Structure 1
Amino acid sequence: MKSAIFLDVDGVLNTRTTVERTPDGYHGIDDARVEILAKAMEKYGNTELVLTSDWKEMKPEADDFRYLVSKLEKQGLRLTGKTTDHWNHRGEGILNYLEEHPEIEEFVILDDQKFDFREYPKLWERLLLTNGIERAEFASKTPAVETIVFLENIKES
């Protein structure tokens, strides 16, 4: 059984208080938050990491994208895919990705925004809203089991 973590970057791996900057001068990525993600994913098991963030719009050769990849690689993480969607339709992008990858049976969404997730109950119950990954909380009052397990893994990390 395959699982996936759908990853936003801003608000998950950084916050407004992040001091580090990307090569292009934007909010950088906190190593400690990437470490939390890596440890939670290790406990969770065979998990793909799928980029849902606006960072997915960058070209692979862009300095900021290479910066993201290097930060993840330092913790043994690798992006396995990315969604294709328009600005406020992240949920739709995730559903399309899942349709194209039927081998993914379980998943969790890490994001600091609600976007269109509430329109899709299957997504809403798997959304962890963040203000930094260490402050993740359930979006739904009735979260899916895999979301409960992943949040426990975050808290243990």
Structure 2
Amino acid sequence: MKSVVFLDVDGVLNTRTTVKRTPYGYTGIDDARVKILANAFKRYGYDEIILSSDWKELDEKHMDYLYLVSKLGQCGLKISGHTPGSSRKRGKGINEYLNLHPEIEEFVILDDVTFDFGKYEKLWERLLITNGIENVRFASRTPAVEAILFLDSIKNFNIN
């Protein structure tokens, strides 16, 4: 059984209060938030990160992309792929990715914006809305089991 997390970066691994900066001076990644994500991966047994964020549009040799890879790698996480298409139509991109990868049986989506997810019931039920990963809530009033378990893994992790 293959389980993946579709990951947005901005608003999940950082917020407006983040003081760290990328090599190009944009909002950086908070180490504590990466640790929360890594713990949820460990507790729930997720296999891969699929990047659905605007960050997927960076060249894999771009200093900011390498910075992201490094931050994730410090906690044993790595990016396994990217969703296709526009990052403004994230639901469509995730749906296309899932159609191309029928081996994925379970997934959750971490994002701080709802974009077009509401058009896809299966995605909406697995969407966790964040304002920083530690401030996470269900998008759907009837979330899928994967979303419930993943949120529980996030909420029960103490970064201290």
SS in 2 for 1:75: coil
Unaligned runs of 5+ in 2: none
Mapped partners of 1:46, 1:119: distance in 2: 25
Q: Which residue of 2 aligns with 1:42?
A: 42
Report sequence identity in percent. 64
Mapped partners of 1:83, 1:48: distance in 2: 13
Q: Which residue of 2 aligns with 1:120?
A: 120
Opposite residue 58 of structure 2, the aligned amino acid is: M
Q: Which residue of 2 aligns with 1:139?
A: 139
Unaligned runs of 5+ in 1: none
TM-score, L = length of structure 2: 0.97
Mapped partners of 1:133, 1:57: distance in 2: 22
TM-score, L = length of structure 1: 0.98
> Per-residue deviation at 1:125?
0.5
Q: Which residue of 2 aligns with 1:92?
A: 92
Q: Which residue of 2 aligns with 1:20?
A: 20
Q: Which residue of 2 aligns with 1:78?
A: 78
- CA-based RMSD of the aligned residues comes to 0.7
Q: Which residue of 2 aligns with 1:31?
A: 31
Give the number of aligned pairs: 157
> Per-residue deviation at 1:87?
3.7
Q: Which residue of 2 aligns with 1:55?
A: 55
SS in 1 for 2:11: coil
Mapped partners of 1:45, 1:85: distance in 2: 28
